[in-house]
Amino acid sequence: MRYIIPAAIVGITVAAAARADTEYSAMIRDLGLSQTKDALMEVSNPTPSDRFALGGVHFLSVVEEALQTQYRVGVNQQMAEMSGLPFLRLPVAQNPSPEGFYPEVIEDIFTAALTDLDGALAQLDEISDGDDIGVVINTADIWFDINMNGTYDTGENLFEVAGGDLNRGLETDFTPPVVRFDTSDAAWLSAYAHLLSGVSEAILAVGPTEAIERVTTSAAEFNAMGRDGRDYMMFYDEDRWLDMAAMFIHAIEGPVDVDRSRAAHAHLLGMIQDNKVFWDRVSRETDNDREWIPNKNQQSALPIPFPTNLGDQWRNVLTEAEMMLNGELLIPHWRLPGGMGIDLEAFMQNPPELDIFALIQGESILPYVERGPEMSGQAWRSFERMVGGDAAFYAIILN
């Protein structure tokens, strides 16, 4: 008890200071994400800036907790990167004494992610067009306590962790920018929270635990037998890739959690709606103050170019994606003639029991076939032409 009361006093004091001075960036740097989140949650009558800051810390906590879990149990980094899943593809230093991997860990990561993403959305949903937000963040202050020792260590900075995804478009010696997040950016962050929520729900809808247990158990048995070094053509030294492929196939096949599939669909639509709000707000901005994503008359604090009509091209991509999610544009299939395709809305609202070969052959898609215009992908190709080989990089920034 003697430790709880002083800790509570410190938390309340820090929260009050944050509200008075809006030193959110310094709080993250000095306290870390977990303590900053606790402090901001103690603020009574939060301002719109307080809500944005808390929403942002909830969002970043999703990443931190996922990295901590991977470090704690010793997730195989090579296989994690091969999975291509959010969070798992981020680099994590090797734990000298991990607790040990267990098959449920992937579902645990994405279940926990949804909790903080819900927390982020709850704060960001309270922010409206008329609110005045000004949250200045030095991105060098953002760090993830991966090894859970409470100190800001080498390898834990935002740009060190996100290097694989972000640094492709950044100079190796760039200075982490200082960004002033405003009201427009609240909608951008909310859109990103919806995107990650949708992906998390989709992963949980297929439930990968049984597939992971099945493959890791058999792989362990084979490893115990040893290997004599014979070269079996394309299979030599490809065991991790084959194990990952087997996990994917086993996870995908089988019944789908309908409620989670519908939740994923709703979040993806929510992402697009919030993106529309973001681009509408940012198009009306007249200032030019350390912008995150600029309009055509602004400059970004990020050391990357934003082509003049980038926003218009990205909105075209989002419009086509929204029409696909609503079943207004159909997904082509090789068995179907022109003017027919798969209704994705119907598929996600009432998903079939998945069978990869039945999907490829066509049997599983028959209940979802409709007549109508097909998705062409033209909007994405136009976006690619605008940004050249950096389309994936810009897509990560813009979401």
Residue 11: the pLDDT is: 40
* Rounded distance between C-alpha atoms, residue 88 and residue 137, angstroms: 26
User: Containing H/E element for 177?
Assistant: none
Is residue 283 classed exposed, middle or buried when 0-12, 13-18 and 19+ CB atoms within 10 A define those classes? Answer: middle
Residues 6+ apart with CB under 8 A from 73: 98, 99, 100, 101, 102, 105
Concatenated DSSP letters of 343-361: -HHHHHHSPPPB-HHHHHH
Residue owning tokens 């607790």? 99
Contact 71, 155 (CB under 8 A): no
* Rounded distance between C-alpha atoms, residue 311 and residue 307, angstroms: 8
For residue 143, give the 3-state DSSP assignment: strand
Across the chain, which has 399 residues, the per-10-residue mean pLDDT values are 37 42 85 97 95 98 97 89 86 92 94 98 97 96 97 93 63 82 98 98 94 85 74 58 82 93 99 97 96 95 91 96 98 96 98 94 96 95 90 89
Contact 350, 255 (CB under 8 A): no
* Rounded distance between C-alpha atoms, residue 196 and residue 204, angstroms: 12
Residue 170: the pLDDT is: 57
Q: 370 pairs with which residues across the strands?
A: 341
- Helix then strand then coil, in percent of the chain rounded to 5, is 60, 5, 35
Residue 140: the pLDDT is: 95
* Rounded distance between C-alpha atoms, residue 112 and residue 100, angstroms: 19
